[in-house]
Amino acid sequence: MQVKPIEQRDADYLMDDAHVTIRGLSKKFGDVVIYDNFDFDIPRNKITTVFGPNGCGKSTIINMIADLMPRDAGEILINGKPVRETRIGYVFQNYREALFPWLRAIDNIRYPLQFLNLSKAEQKQRVDKLVEYFGVKIDLNRYPYQMSGGQQQLVSIMRSLVVEPEVLFLDEPFSALDYEMTLMMRDQLQKVFMETKTTMVLVSHDLEEAIYLADWVLLLSRHPAQVADFVNFDLPRPRHADSVIDPHFVEVKASCLETFQREVRKG
């Protein structure tokens, strides 16, 4: 199946300069239809956050885009190419089970570099640059199990960014962290985004977080999942603690909440 030419596009959430294009995506688990002929475009160099009712298929869709889960039908292209031919990053919710406990933090971060064609000097430069972006003050010579949850997830994020991915996927990356750590990590992620402009797709179960981080918020309906709304949020970055009381934020949040409640009640 081909990506539809622009003139044939009907929905306003399909765009010209999409980074990821999803066409005719279908997925069932047994008899349960999660996606049925689903079309969507993910904008380039933006953070798109995904929000929706529990079990609606948020993880499922990013797993299918990242080729971690087979799809029943449809086509997914990143920059016009199949996922296999692109570099992506993926941050799992469960950092404890995603990092390699037998490697030191720094070696965890370096691990994916061996699959790129880089010289030792380039590899070192990549890691150094990343450490600088994050202003890391933690001792990366420790093993993951010697670090706090937040530090482990930070290492996870660094590991996913070190390959300079075209698209970074994050599945509820902060939901296992305490509140204070979550706030810090959001700002770290925002800082990295402002530095690198990496296209990001972040799933969140926290609407406030979804909006705070987003350029675009994708609201999904109960399964079979459909685009309930695709909301632009263009408050200038860096956003900070006060952004959540900005009138624009409050307005977007109210609108998202209304859509969400309508979609949940529908089920």
Q: Does 182 bind ligand ADP (CB under 6 A)?
A: no
Among 11, 45, 55, 258, which residue interacts with ligand ADP (rule: CB under 6 A)?
55
Residue with tokens 């408050």: 235
> With contact defined as beta carbons under 8 Å apart, do 74 and 38 qualify?
yes
**85 secondary structure, DSSP code:** G
34 binds, among ligand ADP, Mg ion, other proteins, none (CB under 5 to 8 A by kind): ligand ADP
Binders of ligand ADP among residues 208 to 237 (CB under 6 A) are: 223
- Selection from 172, 217, 173, 222 nearest residue 54 by Cα: 222
Cα radius of gyration rounded to whole Å, the chain: 19
Residues in contact with ligand ADP, total (CB under 6 A)? Answer: 10
152 binds, among other proteins, ligand ADP, Mg ion, none (CB under 5 to 8 A by kind): none
Which residues of the chain form contacts with other proteins (CB under 8 A)?
Answer: 66-68, 87-90, 92, 94, 97-102, 111-112, 115-116, 143, 145, 159, 163
Among 21, 48, 49, 60, which residue interacts with ligand ADP (rule: CB under 6 A)?
60
Distances (CA, A) of 128 to 105, 140, 214: 14, 12, 28
65 binds, among Mg ion, ligand ADP, other proteins, none (CB under 5 to 8 A by kind): none
- Selection from 203, 119, 138, 189 nearest residue 161 by Cα: 189
For residue 70, whether the previous peptide bond is cis, meaning omega lies within 30 degrees of 0, is: no
Report the C-alpha gap between 181 and 161 in whole angstroms.
20
Tell me the residue nearest to Mg ion as measured from the CB: 59
- For ligand ADP, the closer of residues 34 and 130 by Cβ is 34
Please, which residues bridge with residue 88 across strands?
167
Q: Is 210 helix (H, G, I), strand (E, B) or coil?
A: helix
| Only segment of 4-12, 50-58, 137-145, 153-161 that touches ligand ADP (CB under 6 A) | 50-58
> With contact defined as beta carbons under 8 Å apart, do 211 and 233 qualify?
yes
29 binds, among Mg ion, other proteins, ligand ADP, none (CB under 5 to 8 A by kind): ligand ADP
Token pair, residue 180, equals 């204070």
Among 2, 8, 54, 119, which residue interacts with ligand ADP (rule: CB under 6 A)?
54
Q: Does 56 bind ligand ADP (CB under 6 A)?
A: yes
Catalog residues that contact ligand ADP under the rule CB under 6 A: 29, 34, 54-60, 223
